[in-house]
Chain A
Amino acid sequence: MTSLFEHFKAMARLRAFDEACLDGFHKGEIHGELHTGIGQEAIAAGMIPSLEAGDALVSTHRNHMHGLAKGVDAHALMAEIFHRETGLCRGRGGHMHPFDLGQNFSATGIVGASLPVALGYAYAFWMEGRANVGIGITGDGGANAGAFHECLNIAGAWKLPFVVVVENNAYAISVPIRHVLATPTIAERAAAYGAPGWRVDGTDPEAVAEAFARAMEHARAGRGPAIVEATCQRFQGHYEGDHDSYRSRDEKRRMKAEHDPLAITRRKLVAAGDATDLDAILAAAKAEMAGILERVRGEPRPDAADALRYRFAS
């Protein structure tokens, strides 16, 4: 079992990665927008122990941490976010559209559209009799898209190895999710698809890891789909530049004080008497990502003369 300390280390890297992106964004180095997962690290970190190379993960507009969890190279991902020719997609995709075939990782900028693609992988694994899983990530907002129902129904009908992870950060941009859900939770919808569903505290990496492991075991064993709903808080606005006027100053203060997965985990480690220098862990993660950013800064941007390349294979 992965120790809490290992989870902390993983979360430190995930946060440092998005903080490096934020640093570049605020210096005007990223053309366009940026969605960070700061505050949601425990979910991606909790998935790491159960992900195998052969599994496929399809993520959302807020995908960096999931990519890193799936084994995507941090430099190639950051170079893509900064639109470099050295990026995963040679700077054509940008931060919402990373594709890494080698790691079976991809994402979409269209909310709710990740699940059908993940289901395609699940169908392939099922056909081949492979013990791999197609994992689709969505937010609470995306869980209200019709594809959520379509995909889970299909997976339930044929017992496809399909796991849906819902990162419930309580807001679909500005709309509180509780205002637009028919049921108290999203996980309870699982019953409609003959599937198990778990709702866990998504700021607790151990809770996420346990629920995700159960979901993955269920899917790998050929018993069909499962839902893991992980509640969390998104520290930044929906995107960088979001005025975030839909959350009060007090709400935002409490969010960071009470729901920061790194701070919570750190308190637990200290309370358990872990003598490791946790600041050194954070500093190492920060140094690693700052180093990657420095490297990316020196790399070439795509040549305008190549704007029409890669439209067709032939």
Chain B
Amino acid sequence: MATANIRNLNCSQVIAEAIGLEMERDPRILVLGEDVGRIGGVFGATRGLQERFGDKRVRDMPISEMAFTGMGVGLALAGYRPIIEIMFADFVGVCLEQVYNAMAKIPYMSGGTVRMPMVVKTAGGCIGSAAQHSQCLWGLFAHLPGMKVVVPGNPYDYKGLMASALTSDDPVVYIEHQSQMGKKATTFRAGAVVPAERYTVPIGQAAVVRSGRDLTIVTLSACVEHALEAAETLAGEGIDAEVIDLRGLVPLDMATVCASLARTSRLLVVDEDYVSFGLSGEIVARAVEELGPTALRQVARHANPDVPVPAAAALEQAVLPGPASIAAAARRMAARS
């Protein structure tokens, strides 16, 4: 504990530390992206790596995402383990072709003869940058088959899941939350302690970050901290919420979710991504499929109501889940029960 307090890194430093440890261990790992070298990433998550590993393994790319995402595919075919950084998740629109048609499909299309150990590292989530720099899009990646989708929500997981992503033989999309990159480890309610040495967090395992009896809040990324804050408020009102951090979408750990629902029978999915045709609907559908249509007493979703993220702060707050809105959603459920 003392170690972590002394270190008190922010999340971007934790990620850079994880990548550095993996690059030391495995010379096949390299990083290609915009501004990843000289300044160490616009969020700082590759800071110091170019100085340590040279400008071939940590390469500042021109604004040519289609080319360098495809280069990642070629590098993986050539035996490397590239990290391709797409600065903002929103930018994947210009190179989605290489992500979903090449990276994600080649392992299957090759009949398992080709592995694609490639990490697409990107930053999603809202930080007040409006419609084109605030999208989560993890539901989009998860809808397209062939990639593991990892979405950490605290410092411990940022480090351990990056280590797992870089040892995976499958393609992994690793989505950071912009608002957490500069956030200090000690300010987190969950996963605040980050060991200096290497460790891994397995991909596809959700975590119960708060135990509770009355309802299950299923969420991920920055909304985990929001949900934990909401749960503290709700506890004072006699509502005991369990909070599950999915830590990713593919594979989706429904065992942990269903075990919780078997006890609480009330499900609130909180998702910063768009509500329709995405993660929240998927959780509900799988819960019903796995537990049966009568197992749940209440189901609710709290997510972006299918609008581009607005620029004005008041409008942004109105469409994105936060501690107050999550508590309000839980209260509405409690009032109906």
Query: Does any Cβ of A come within 8 Å of B187's Cβ?
Result: no
Contact A121 to B113, CB < 8 A, known contacts A150-B64, A154-B68, A310-B108: no
Closest to A120 in B: B74
CB-contacts of B215-272 with A (<8 A): none
Q: Is the CB–CB distance between B67 and A311 below 8 Å?
A: no
A97 close to chain B: CB less than 8 A = yes
> What is the chain B residue whose CB lies nearest that of A93?
B109
Q: Is B195 an interface residue (CB 8 A)?
A: no
Query: Residue B56 at the A interface, CB < 8 A?
Result: yes
| Chain A residue with Cβ nearest B54 | A127
On whether the beta carbons of A116 and B73 are closer than 8 Å, the reply is yes
Q: Which of B132-165 contact A (CB under 8 A)?
A: 145-146, 148
Interface size on A, residues (CB 8 A): 44
Say if the beta carbon of A99 comes within 8 Å of chain B.
yes
For B106, the chain A residues whose CB sits under 8 A away are 99, 106
| Interface: B169 (CB within 8 A) | yes
Please name all residues of chain B whose beta carbon is closer than 8 Å to the beta carbon of A124 when the two chains form the complex.
74-75, 78-80
Q: In the complex the two chains form, is B73's CB within 8 Å of A117's CB?
A: yes
Does B111 sit within 8 A of A, measured CB to CB? yes
Does B70 touch A at the CB level, under 8 Å? yes
What is the total of A-B residue contacts with beta carbons within 8 Å?
146
B102 contacts A134, C-beta separation under 8 Å: no
* Alpha-carbon distance A122/B56, docked complex (angstroms): 13
Q: Check A89 against B109 for contact (C-beta < 8 Å).
A: yes
Given contacts A153-B64, A314-B168, A314-B170, contact A116 B98 (CB under 8 A): yes
Chain A 75-115 against B: per-residue CB contact (8 Å), 1 yes, 0 no? 00000000000011111110001010100101011100101
Does B77 touch A at the CB level, under 8 Å? yes
B70 touches A120 (CB 8 A): yes
Main SS class of interface, A:
mixed
| A121 with B78: CB separation less than 8 A | yes
Instruction: State whether A90 and B111 are in contact (beta carbons under 8 Å apart), knowing that A116-B73, A116-B74 are contacts in the complex.
Output: yes
CB-based nearest B residue for A114: B70
> In the docked arrangement, what's the CA distance between A59 and B71, Å?
15
Q: Mark B55-69 against chain A: 1 for CB-CB distance below 8 A, else 0.
A: 011000110101111
The reply to whether the CB of B334 lies closer than 8 angstroms to some CB of chain A is no
A113 touching B70, Cβ below 8 Å: yes
B112 touches A310 (CB 8 A): yes
B73, B78, B79, B82: which has the most chain A beta carbons within 10 Å? B78
Given A119-B67, A150-B66, A312-B148, answer yes or no on A113-B102 (Cβ-Cβ < 8 Å).
Answer: yes
Interface residues in B23-81 by Cβ distance below 8 A to A read 30, 56-57, 61-62, 64, 66-80
Q: In the assembled complex, how far is the CB of residue A267 from the closest CB belonging to chain B, in whole angstroms?
A: 40
8 tightest A-B CB contacts, nearest first: A120-B74, A116-B70, A90-B111, A310-B112, A150-B67, A150-B64, A120-B71, A313-B169
Which residues in B have some Cβ–Cβ distance to A below 8 Å?
Answer: 30, 56-57, 61-62, 64, 66-80, 82, 97-98, 101-102, 105-115, 145-146, 148, 168-170
Can you list 8 A-B pairs, Cβ within 8 angstroms, ordered by A? Answer: A99-B77, A99-B109, A116-B70, A127-B56, A146-B66, A153-B67, A311-B146, A314-B168
